Chain A
Amino acid sequence: GQQLNQSPQSMFIQEGEDVSMNCTSSSIFNTWLWYKQEPGEGPVLLIALYKAGELTSNGRLTAQFGITRKDSFLNISASIPSDVGIYFCAGSDQGAQKLVFGQGTRLTINP
């Protein structure tokens, strides 16, 4: 079945640093979504991508839909303490309604 490989699994950074994480798929997706999840809560949608090569920003977050349609990345600029959490990529292929999720990147920020 479809699998998403997300890396890195965890990151420990200093406040103010930029963060980059990525997600690769074994098959082509036509939609990529990025979510953030905090302990005990459901995932919150951050950014949605629909076209290969698309670059979309949401405040300090920027995400790109890879040209091959098999990867996506998320950047966070000038990290702040409230960015702490687990970030998940998710994708769906044409005709499918379900999302396939990566394993998550746990972000920890040292003040």
Chain B
Amino acid sequence: DTGVSQDPRHKITKRGQNVTFRCDPISEHNRLYWYRQTLGQGPEFLTYFQNEAQLEKSRLLSDRFSAERPKGSFSTLEIQRTEQGDSAMYLCASSAPLNTEAFFGQGTRLTVV
């Protein structure tokens, strides 16, 4: 098992463009989380899935953000009409059933210019 995998590692986009990130969790983990981290801060929760169901969304997740996990395996996070304030590291994590220990991927660093 190679751990949580995120793609791409880096993304530079122009303001107003749409971007999509992918996360592949650890294979036996049924819970998948998205966090956002800005410089000098700890990660902030965005949303999480249990299998294919999206069970919680943070108020940080504006209507320009959408996350999916259609088959309960990989997940995508899409940001529409990107703004400069969206520039951050987007982290994906997964955890095993009934376990709070979350294992993180290497993140996708988004820069909006």
Q: Does B65 contact A (CB under 8 A)?
A: no
> Contact at B100–A45, with CB atoms within 8 Å?
no
Which residues of B are found within 8 Å of A88, using beta-carbon distances?
A: 42-43
| Cβ proximity bits A24-54 to B, threshold 8 Å, 1 near / 0 not | 0000000101010000111111001000000
Minimum Cβ distance to chain A for residue B24 (Å): 13
For the complex, count residues of B whose C-beta is within 8 A of A. 27
Which of the segments A11-19, A55-63, A72-80, A97-105 contacts the partner chain?
A97-105
Minimum Cβ distance to chain A for residue B27 (Å): 18
> Contact at A42–B100, with CB atoms within 8 Å?
no
Q: Does B109 contact A (CB under 8 A)?
A: yes
Q: Does A7 contact B (CB under 8 A)?
A: no
How many cross-chain pairs have Cβ atoms below 8 Å apart between A and B? 63
Which residues of A are found within 8 Å of B4, using beta-carbon distances?
A: 42
CB neighbors of B among A55-99 (8 A): 88, 90, 92, 97-99
Which residue of chain B has its CB nearest to the CB of A42? B104
> Contact at A97–B103, with CB atoms within 8 Å?
no
> Contact at A98–B56, with CB atoms within 8 Å?
yes
| Cβ proximity bits B75-97 to A, threshold 8 Å, 1 near / 0 not | 00000000000000001010100
**Interface of chain A: mostly helix, strand, loop or mixed:** strand
A-B CB contact pairs (8 Å), 26 listed = A33-B100, A33-B102, A40-B106, A40-B107, A40-B109, A41-B106, A41-B107, A42-B91, A42-B105, A42-B106, A42-B107, A88-B43, A90-B42, A97-B33, A97-B48, A97-B50, A97-B55, A97-B56, A97-B100, A98-B45, A98-B58, A100-B45, A101-B44, A103-B40, A103-B42, A104-B41
Residues of A within 8 A of B (CB): 4, 6, 31, 33, 35, 40-45, 48, 88, 90, 92, 97-104
Residues of B within 8 A of A (CB): 4, 6, 31, 33, 40-45, 48, 50, 55-56, 58, 91, 93, 95, 100-107, 109
